[in-house]
Chains A and B, each alone.
Chain A
Amino acid sequence: MSRNVGIASRLKRNKITEVVASGKRMDGRDLLDYREIQIKTGVLEKVEGSAEAYLGKTRVLVGVKFGKGYPFDDTPDKGVLMTNAEFTPIAHPTFEPGPPDERSIELARVVDRGLRSAEILDMKKLCLVPGKSVYMVHVDIYVLSYDGNLIDCSALAAIAALKTAKMPVYTVKDENVKLTKKTKAVKILREPLAVSIVKIGDSLLVDPSADEEEVMDARITITLDEKGNVCTIQKVGSVGFTRDELKTAVQIAAEKVEELRKNV
């Protein structure tokens, strides 16, 4: 993130790097410890699915809305899954109202790619009339409080919300699509969850806080499904990773994702 690195954060950086190099962290965690995870589902009434995830002081609300709409031209027989992320100005002093910036676009796209490339929904089953009418699934990520690691937190909330969602049932007669009062559970084929690992100095650590994200050298986010397959990777930050560090990162992610999975 291209924030100005001022004097204060350079001091912060030195301190955090020093502590991390000794194998500890400012908040007392070990390098590979997540903060306390809490997930509540069904927190909203007007949506088909919702979940709120807490990762320490990071708090994300996800609402899942089902509707009907037109398919994309290149996939006329598939439903549409869209993920959007919004940073609310109440979440952190550095968040300002306005059009989505790089960070919220990245958050939405990384979570979106996690859901999409893992093919969590059978998109063909979400088609009502080929070429004319399909289910639209909107996953809206709403960041309510920011203390680092938004991607992992959002992926948890998104999966929890989709798993508990009840989708509306439509009847199709001669291409006429009618909404019924019935609902059914959403069938989830895979459960991709994200593990973000940041590099500070020569150390790799999971679940970065806002301070750690501010001073980190680089970050890699790895999304894995329940079988341990890798679904999405995203590397950001102004430093590279060596081949060995990447191998270690995938191992850490594969281990940590099991821990996260217990929460959804």
Chain B
Amino acid sequence: MSKKKSKKTTKRFDGRKPDELRPLKIESGVLPHADGSAYIEMGRNKILVGVFGPREMHPKRFSKPNMATLRCRYHMAPFSVDPRRSPAPSRRDNEISMVMRYALEPAVFLERYPRSVIDVYAEILEADGGTRTACINAASVALVDAGIPVRDLVASCAAGKIDGQLVLDLGDYEDKEGDADVPLAYMPKTEHVTLLQMDGILSQDDFNGCIDMAIEGCKQIYEVQREALKKKYGLDEGEAN
């Protein structure tokens, strides 16, 4: 990628408008042996998510008598970043696995499957900033692909601030060089924010601006998610609703 020339314009590092998402592609049902799966490309992120279950929980003592357990694993391939990283899970991976679970749980009817487990495995093949949001987008589609009943799809993207400007869906460079990064996940039907984190420094007004911007971004992603499912299941607009 060539270095950008002008810093003064409102164009961003990669030529996007401040409130423009990166190119987004979602495909569902891509893994033959998973109960549900999805592949997402969000910018240069390339992520595969497989869903297994509802199935019997091992070890059994972790199962809940009244509901299913949602288990998420966020994992980065050693070659997904430069320099290479160790394949062992880091503290960061563990925390992201946790927030992924909290982002998806509000959507899933876990009470329908007592004692069982639903495993969501996200493998990051290539990382380009905003991997957690991309994982949530793909995982939500994969859960539906697995036939698991959900209240709504969970769409996710980040907003942030770089060079004094609020921007949507930060890429790797903006993520590292920017002033702040606010990843958010949203269920458009219930209007609930299910993931919210932040790093950096923002005034309260800018923070509220970031939330509004990210929610708008999520609504656009939501449409792409629906398209991905409609494409596989061949539903027209009326049936999908």
B160: min CB distance to chain A, Å: 12
Let me know if B198 and A232 touch, CB within 8 A. yes
User: B51-78: which have CB < 8 Å to A?
Assistant: 64-67, 69
B87 within 8 A of A: no
Please tell me if A184 contacts chain B, counting CB pairs below 8 Å: no
CB <8 Å contact, B203 and A243: no
Comparing B24-32, B95-103, B120-128, B163-171, the segment that makes contact with chain A is: B95-103
**A155 in the interface, Cβ–Cβ < 8 Å?**
no
* A220 CB within 8 Å of chain B: yes
Let me know if B98 and A102 touch, CB within 8 A: yes
Kindly state whether residue B45 has any CB partner on chain A within 8 Å: no
A230 to B180 Cα, complex, angstroms: 10
Q: Bits for B157-198, please: 1 = Cβ < 8 Å to A, else 0.
A: 000000000000000000000001010001100111111111
A217 vs B98: C-alpha distance when bound (angstroms) = 15
Give A113 to B96 CA distance when docked, in angstroms. Answer: 14
Q: How many residues on B have C-beta within 8 angstroms of the other chain's C-beta atoms?
A: 41
Query: By DSSP majority rule, is chain B's interface helix, strand, loop, or mixed?
Result: mixed
A235 to chain B, nearest CB (A): 4
Residues of B within 8 A of A147 (CB): none
Any B CB within 8 A of the CB of A233: yes
* Cβ contacts under 8 Å, A240 to chain B: 106, 186-187, 190, 192-194
- The reply to whether A233 and B182 form a contact with Cβ atoms under 8 Å apart is yes
Task: Name B191's contact: one of A5, A102, A243 (CB within 8 Å).
Answer: A243
- How many A-B residue contacts, CB cutoff 8 Å? 104
B178 to chain A, nearest CB (A): 11
User: B84 to nearest A CB, angstroms?
Assistant: 12
Q: Which residue of A lies closest to B93 (CB)?
A: A105
**Contact partners of A176 in chain B: CB under 8 A:** none
Chain B CB within 8 A of A94 CB: no
A117 touches B199 (CB 8 A): yes
Contact A117 B201, beta carbon cutoff 8 Å: yes
How long is the Cα–Cα vector from A257 to B91 in the complex, in angstroms? 28
* The stretch of A44-52, A121-129, A246-254 that contacts the partner chain: A246-254
Taking A109-B91, A109-B92, A240-B187 as contacts, is the C-beta distance between A235 and B204 under 8 angstroms? no
Q: Which single residue of chain A is at the shortest CB-CB distance from B191? A: A242
Say whether, besides A102-B94, A109-B92, A241-B193, A229 and B208 are in contact (CB < 8 Å).
no
Of residues 214 through 264 on chain A, the ones whose CB sits less than 8 Å from some CB of chain B are 218, 220, 225, 228-243, 246-247, 250, 254
- Bound form: Cα–Cα A6–B65 in Å: 8
Asked if B204 contacts A241 (CB within 8 A), the reply is no
Chain B, Cβ-Cβ closest to A108: B91
Cβ of A243: which chain B residues have Cβ within 8 Å of it? Answer: 191, 193, 211-212, 215
Cross-chain contact B106 with A235 (CB below 8 angstroms): no
B208, A239: Cβ atoms closer than 8 Å? no
Residue in B91, B191, B197 whose beta carbon sits within 8 Å of that of A235 in the complex = B197
Residue from B83, B92, B201 within 8 A of A230 (CB atoms): B201
Partner of A109 from B95, B105, B193 at Cβ < 8 Å: B95
Judge whether A230 and B106 touch: CB under 8 Å: no
Cβ of A2 under 8 Å from chain B: yes
CA distance A220 to B197 in the complex (A): 9
Give the nearest-CB partner of A192 in chain B: B201
Residues of A within 8 A of B203 (CB): 228-230
Nearest B residue (CB) for A229: B201
Q: List 21 A-B contacts (CB under 8 A).
A: A5-B64, A102-B98, A109-B95, A117-B199, A117-B200, A218-B102, A229-B201, A229-B203, A229-B204, A230-B201, A232-B198, A233-B182, A235-B99, A236-B99, A239-B192, A241-B193, A241-B196, A242-B192, A242-B193, A243-B215, A250-B204
